[in-house]
């Protein structure tokens, strides 16, 4: 529409300069879009003003094939101009017949049509050929002229072939009227057939438009299918990568499970060994206590025997009587209190760097910094991934999804929630705090 408005503006300002450029631009517009109604109408008007009525007629007849209502008035105007320019009456009659097919009530065409046939009828009447005059008058629908001819006695044209005397003028007129009626019926039938063909052509054009839309829709769907295929290939590749990651994760999980089981077995063995050591200590304490009691009894008995030895007096040898040793009184075992463990202070060397492994069971955001508050990592990781970092402990770890993150540190794997948190910060955990 912008190009049409520009053409109209420049055309009204300076017709001589922009005429050829305007026509060229309009023809290019119609070539790219044959259904452009405004461009076709404007080009036809400019051609008519330039005197190119024949070319304007061709353009409007093409427009009439798919837009009859838009082209009708412009085409009638063009046909009227061509009829006025025509030198031959037969050519004018042909043009007026085409106008009647477009609009049976076009008054200008009707008036010109009647003038032609009236003039022909008048000429035939002057020549004395009443039959021909009567036919022309009836064609022009001049009933008054027909009545005058019928009432007036027949004047034969001397040059015309004489009709037989038996010919009845009334029968001839009736026959002519019958022929005219049949011709009118034929014209009406042709008009109906033309209307039906125009409607059929409109239906075919609509079907053609629907087919074009369907083809455009098919092309669009094909493009979408191509895009979906490309996305499917990418997703399949991603799925293969995930399967490989899961496979690696399964191997890693087995290694971790084996490592945990070994640690648990070592812990159980250490506990059993500690229990055995405690039993041995108790048994040793009991044995030492029994030995001490037994030694005390022996020393007590020895002191009694030394106290009862007599002075050297010559007396008869006494009768030896058995010495009854009293049974030692059973005293409860005295268990010495356990000795306090000697505190051994182990001076650990300063830790320069430590490895930290983070296992993701669920998708989570995480941020990790070391003891120097240096950010080691920040981002979102997916399930099955393992993040390995090195830095100076303790590590500060901010976790978005606490239930989906496990930490492997110092040969031990635990949930991140098992580690202590910063005061006032629920999701900031301290890893490797002494």
3-state secondary structure 184-207: HHHHHHHHHHHHHHHHHHHHHHHH
Kindly calculate the radius of gyration of the chain based on its CA atoms and give it in whole angstroms: 63
Are 383 and 362 within 8 A, CB to CB? yes
CB burial class (10 A; 0-12, 13-18, 19+) of residue 303? Answer: exposed
**Cα 48 to Cα 80: distance, rounded to the nearest angstrom:** 11
Are 57 and 75 within 8 A, CB to CB? yes
3-state SS assignment for residue 25: helix
Higher-pLDDT residue of 317 and 174 is: 174
pLDDT bracket for residue 122 (50, 70, 90): confident
Most confident of the following: 269-273, 300-304, 426-430: 426-430
The structure tokens listed for 267 are 């812990």
- Residue 253: which H helix or E strand, with range? helix 169-307
- Cα angle for residues 359, 362, 363 (degrees, 5° grid): 100
Q: Tell me, what's the pLDDT at 323?
A: 45
**Cα 394 to Cα 433: distance, rounded to the nearest angstrom:** 5
**Cα 121 to Cα 132: distance, rounded to the nearest angstrom:** 7
Most confident of the following: 81-85, 109-113, 130-134, 362-366: 362-366
Higher-pLDDT residue of 278 and 149 is: 278
3-state SS assignment for residue 49: helix
- Could you read off the pLDDT of 236-258 as tens digits, one per residue? 989 999 988 888 888 888 888 88
Rounded alpha-carbon distances, angstroms, from residue 293 to 57, 72, 222, 284, 304: 145, 141, 104, 14, 17
Closest CA to 57 of 69, 39, 74: 74
Collect contacts of 290-298 with beta carbons under 8 A, ≥24 apart: 290/333, 293/328, 293/331, 297/328
Burial 146-179 (b: 16+ CB within 10 A, else e): beebeeeeeeeeeeeeeeeeeeeeeebbeebeee
Name all domains of the chain by residue range, CATH numbers in brackets. Answer: 2-157+167-199 (1.25.40.10), 354-431 (2.60.40)
Rounded alpha-carbon distances, angstroms, from residue 104 to 74, 96, 108, 411: 16, 10, 11, 104
**Cα 173 to Cα 145: distance, rounded to the nearest angstrom:** 14
Are 385 and 245 within 8 A, CB to CB? yes
3-state SS assignment for residue 373: coil
- Could you read off the pLDDT of 41-70 as tens digits, one per residue? 888 888 888 888 888 888 888 888 888 888
In this structure, of 30-39, 226-235, 401-410, the range with the lowest mean pLDDT score is 30-39
CB count in 10 Å sphere of residue 361: 15
Q: Tell me, what's the pLDDT at 405?
A: 95
Q: What is the mean pLDDT of residues 296-300?
A: 85
* Greatest pairwise CA separation for the chain in angstroms: 225
> Is it the case that residue 169 has pLDDT exceeding 60?
yes
Q: Tell me, what's the pLDDT at 43?
A: 85
Residues β-bridged to residue 390: 355
Closest CA to 140 of 115, 158, 123, 159: 115
- Could you read off the pLDDT of 383-407 as tens digits, one per residue? 999 999 988 899 999 999 999 999 9
> Is it the case that residue 158 has pLDDT exceeding 70?
no
> Is it the case that residue 336 has pLDDT exceeding 60?
no
Q: For tokens 């037989």, what's the residue? A: 164
- Cα angle for residues 368, 370, 374 (degrees, 5° grid): 85
pLDDT bracket for residue 162 (50, 70, 90): very low
Q: Tell me, what's the pLDDT at 266?
A: 84
* Residues above pLDDT 70, as percent of the chain: 77
Q: What is the mean pLDDT of residues 10-22?
A: 62
């Amino acid at each position: 529409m912008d190009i049409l408005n520009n053409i109209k503006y420049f055309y009204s300002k300076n017709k001589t300069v922009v005429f050829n450029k305007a026509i060229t631009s309009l023809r290019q517009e119609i070539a790219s879009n044959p259904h452009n109604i405004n461009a076709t109408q404007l080009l036809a008007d400019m051609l008519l003003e330039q005197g190119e009525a024949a070319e304007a007629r061709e353009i409007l007849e093409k427009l009439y094939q798919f837009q009859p209502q838009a082209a009708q008035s412009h085409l009638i105007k063009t046909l009227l101009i061509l009829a006025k320019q025509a030198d031959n009456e037969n050519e004018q009659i042909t043009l007026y017949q085409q106008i009647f097919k477009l609009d049976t009530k076009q008054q200008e065409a009707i008036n010109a049509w009647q003038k032609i046939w009236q003039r022909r009828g008048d000429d035939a009447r002057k020549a004395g050929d009443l039959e021909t005059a009567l036919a022309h008058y009836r064609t022009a629908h001049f009933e008054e002229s027909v009545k005058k001819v019928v009432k007036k006695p027949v004047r034969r044209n001397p040059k015309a072939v004489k009709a037989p005397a038996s010919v009845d003028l009334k029968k001839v007129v009736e026959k002519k009227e019958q022929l005219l009626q049949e011709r009118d019926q034929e014209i009406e039938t042709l008009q109906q057939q033309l209307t039906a063909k125009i409607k059929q052509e409109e239906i075919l054009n609509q079907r053609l438009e629907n087919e074009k839309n369907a083809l455009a829709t098919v092309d669009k769907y094909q493009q979408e299918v191509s895009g979906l295929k490309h996305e499917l290939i990418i997703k399949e590749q991603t799925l293969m990568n995930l399967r490989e990651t899961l496979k690696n994760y399964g191997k890693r999980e087995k290694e971790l499970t084996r490592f945990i089981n070994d640690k648990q077995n070592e812990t159980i063995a250490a506990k059993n060994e500690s229990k055995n050591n405690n039993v041995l200590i108790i048994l040793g304490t009991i044995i030492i206590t029994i030995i001490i009691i037994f030694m005390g009894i022996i020393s007590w008995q020895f002191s009694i025997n030394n106290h009862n030895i007599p002075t050297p007096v010559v007396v008869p040898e006494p009768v030896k009587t058995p010495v009854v040793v009293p049974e030692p009184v059973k005293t409860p075992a005295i268990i010495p209190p356990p000795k306090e463990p000697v505190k051994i202070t182990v001076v650990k060397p300063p830790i320069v760097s430590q490895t930290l492994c983070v296992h993701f069971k669920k998708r989570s955001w995480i941020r990790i910094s070391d003891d120097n508050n240096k950010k080691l990592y920040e981002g979102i990781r997916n399930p099955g991934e393992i993040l390995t970092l090195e830095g100076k402990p303790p590590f500060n770890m901010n976790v978005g999804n606490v239930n989906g993150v496990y930490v492997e540190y110092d040969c031990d794997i635990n949930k991140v929630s098992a580690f202590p948190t910063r005061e006032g910060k629920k999701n900031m955990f301290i890893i490797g705090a002494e």
